[in-house]
A = this chain, B = another copy of it.
Amino acid sequence: MTIYTAASLKAELNEKGWRLTPQREIILEIFQNLPKGTHLSAEDLYNTLEEDGHPISLSTIYRTLKLMARMGILRELELAEGHKHYEINQPAPYHHHHLICVKCNKTIEFKNDGILKTGTKTAQKEGYHLLDCQLIIHAVCPTCQRSLIPL
């Protein structure tokens, strides 16, 4: 949950014997410049990169997303659509959580400082190294409460 630059990403990768590649650099950049509230799936990222003129194979995309999530650079979100979404993982003033309608998947972001504190404290108490901490609220939105569509 730090702010990354190409340089700090390279430093952290090299420290573990890994490498900074153009692909990894571009993917980080894409996420850093995404409008607030955007959540990308692997497929979304694939298309974005293609349109951007920097095509990257799906294999590499999946590998990079997993890598960056495990480094704490990206957050892996399960937004109830059957596939994962990702967003940049930022600290305190930008850190947020998600309220999701399980029927239409409409998602609202909200902030709450106490939760990150709780997460940090809990991880620390158990000796875990914190990567991400997210409150997920599953609910039914006002529109879907009225709708007659079953399930």
| Chain A interface residues toward B at CB < 8 A | 16, 18, 66-67, 69-70, 76, 78, 99, 101-103, 108, 110, 112, 114-115, 118-119, 122-123, 126-142, 145, 150-151
Contact = CB atoms under 8 A, between A and B. Distances in A.
Contacts of A137: 119, 122-123, 128, 130, 132-133
Nearest to A77: B78
A142 B137 CA distance: 29
Q: Is the interface of A mostly helix, strand, loop or mixed?
A: mixed
A129 B140 contact: yes
Contacts of A145: 129
B151 A139 contact: no
Contacts of A150: 16, 18
Contact of A118 (B114, B119, B131, B139): B114
B99 A128 contact: yes
A21 to B, nearest CB: 16
- In this complex, the member of A103, A133, A139, A151 whose beta carbon has the largest number of chain B beta carbons within 10 angstroms is A139
- In this complex, the member of A18, A66, A122 whose beta carbon has the largest number of chain B beta carbons within 10 angstroms is A122
- In this complex, the member of A76, A99, A101 whose beta carbon has the largest number of chain B beta carbons within 10 angstroms is A99
